[in-house]
Chain A
Amino acid sequence: MTKKLDLMPVIKTTLIVMAVIFVSQVLIGKQVISFGSVSIPILPMLFAVMIGMAISLVVVRDKIKLWGKVFTEKEESFASNMVGFSLLILGTQYAGMIIPNIDNILEAGVPLIFQELGNLLPIFIAIPLAVKFGLGREAIGACSSISREPSIAVVQGKYGTGTPEYIGVLAIYLCGSVIGTLWFSVLGSLGSLSGLHPLALAAGSGVGSGSMLSAASGALVSTLSPDMAAQALSIAAASNLLSSVIGALSLTFIGLPLAEFMYKICNKKEVAANA
């Protein structure tokens, strides 16, 4: 199980990440964009993900030959493994946030369970759009949930590998893996403009993957008081835990049947409109 570890990618990736952290944290730091009375904070972590994406682009690696030699597929795959290990550290942080707020969480428990129903919203919004775009049954896989790992398992179990539904859920999964972190940090920063309470938005931050959770909740709490921030982070973590536990169940018994139904209605309308 334990292979001899190739040290070079580890050292190179660590140095690169330290440089990215230094640039985003110290050289750039926290920036604020203001539109009149509204100000949107842009956190160093957002710069970190953007710099990381920019320098690992294939175009950049091909254009700058020397860099391409330094940052190869080995370094990229090591970085991808390190995401998982960094998430473990973050997991302990969430525990540290939840413990002092455990009473709040327990009190928020029932609404948090029902919050899973909010994840059905894309079925009503995205499926009609997908049908308009000309997607077939891919729409059912793509738009019935946020398409993280549990969703893939459920769709694969129900429809099988290689089916249009499976391709749909995989396509959204891939999009989410590539731009999801960035998009959730945008959602976390802009969410407060909707007028929803920070604690409610914290619950919304937990709908996706671990890195989406960290990006959205991190951006969300940056403007809150320390007390409120700790409460919001603990709710976000609890919401994410519940999503992983209940998400697969609600997708199986409510999400997919509802998506099938919605798809049929939209398809009929589309056929009627074209006739």
Chain B
Amino acid sequence: MLKSIHDMKFVFLALALAIFTETLTTGTPLFSMWDSAVAMSVIVFLALVTKHYINSPLPAFAYATLIGIAICLPDTVIRTFFLDSIGKVGFLSCCVPLLAFAGLSVGGKMEELKKLSWKIVVLFLVVSTSCFFGASMIAQIGFTMKGII
């Protein structure tokens, strides 16, 4: 519980950066997104606490998704509040700071990558590309059979 509260400081920072990006992109005034900050931090906090008590192979962000769904599933005022406020901050605005951090955290590791043979890098590209298209092709077949697409 204590660790979850401690972690929330960083969650607020991540939130602030996402909201900052949204303002830069769409010009939405920073403070008009206060409700988004409240809604998202409530879900994240519940996710952190749940992850702490119920451990599983699921990553922490999957807990946030599942808890978000659980909160919004019943059709109540809460659902409307959460969906409206989360929707105010764009998906891509949440991705930009995430990927900026991801970039900053890996440049230093490029040295380690250099130590591996170039063959491993080629293998990674082949493995990930075939996973991506393999899964997409099965989904294409499945979705067509079910008439979704």
Interfacial residues, chain A to chain B (CB-CB below 8 A): 1-2, 5, 10, 13-14, 16-18, 20-22, 24-26, 43-46, 48-58, 60-61, 71, 73, 75-77, 79-100, 102, 104, 107-108, 110-112, 114-122, 125-126, 129-130, 133, 135, 142-143, 145-147, 149-150, 153, 171-172, 174-181, 183-185, 187, 191, 194, 196-197, 199-212, 214-216, 218, 221-222, 233, 237, 239-241, 244-245, 248
Given contacts A57-B107, A92-B65, A179-B121, contact A86 B94 (CB under 8 A): yes
Q: How many A-B residue pairs have CB under 8 A?
A: 413
Given contacts A17-B100, A85-B7, A126-B127, contact A112 B95 (CB under 8 A): no
Given contacts A17-B17, A93-B86, A211-B98, contact A119 B134 (CB under 8 A): yes
- In Å, the complex CA distance between A118 and B128 comes to 11
Q: How many residues of B contact A (CB 8 A)?
A: 96
Which chain B residues lie closer than 8 Å to A76 at the CB level?
Answer: 104-105, 107-108
Please name 9 further chain A to chain B contacts, defined as beta carbons within 8 Å, in addition to the given A90-B91, A240-B62, A244-B57, sorted by A numbering. A49-B99, A82-B101, A92-B39, A96-B86, A102-B69, A118-B133, A118-B135, A126-B123, A179-B121
**From A116, which residue of chain B is reached at the shortest CB distance?**
B135
Which chain B residues lie closer than 8 Å to A207 at the CB level?
Answer: 128, 131-132, 135
Q: Does A21 lie within 8 Å of B96, measured CB to CB?
A: yes
Given contacts A86-B98, A91-B64, A204-B133, contact A96 B146 (CB under 8 A): no
| Residues in B36-65 with C-beta less than 8 Å from chain A | 39-40, 43-44, 47-48, 57-65
Closest chain-A Cβ to B123's Cβ sits at a distance in Å of 6
Question: Which single member of B13, B63, B105 contacts A10 (CB below 8 Å)?
Answer: B13
Closest chain-B Cβ to A217's Cβ sits at a distance in Å of 8
- In Å, the complex CA distance between A240 and B131 comes to 13
Interfacial residues, chain B to chain A (CB-CB below 8 A): 2-3, 6-7, 9-11, 13-15, 17-18, 20-21, 24-25, 39-40, 43-44, 47-48, 57-69, 71-73, 79, 82-83, 86-87, 89, 91-92, 94-113, 116, 119-143, 145-146, 148-149
Q: Does A91 lie within 8 Å of B68, measured CB to CB?
A: yes
Q: Does B107 lie within 8 Å of A24, measured CB to CB?
A: no
25 examples of A-B residue contacts, CB within 8 angstroms: A13-B101, A14-B17, A22-B24, A52-B99, A52-B100, A56-B103, A56-B107, A73-B108, A76-B108, A82-B105, A94-B61, A95-B64, A96-B72, A98-B68, A114-B142, A116-B135, A118-B134, A142-B123, A145-B131, A174-B112, A175-B123, A179-B121, A185-B99, A218-B95, A239-B139
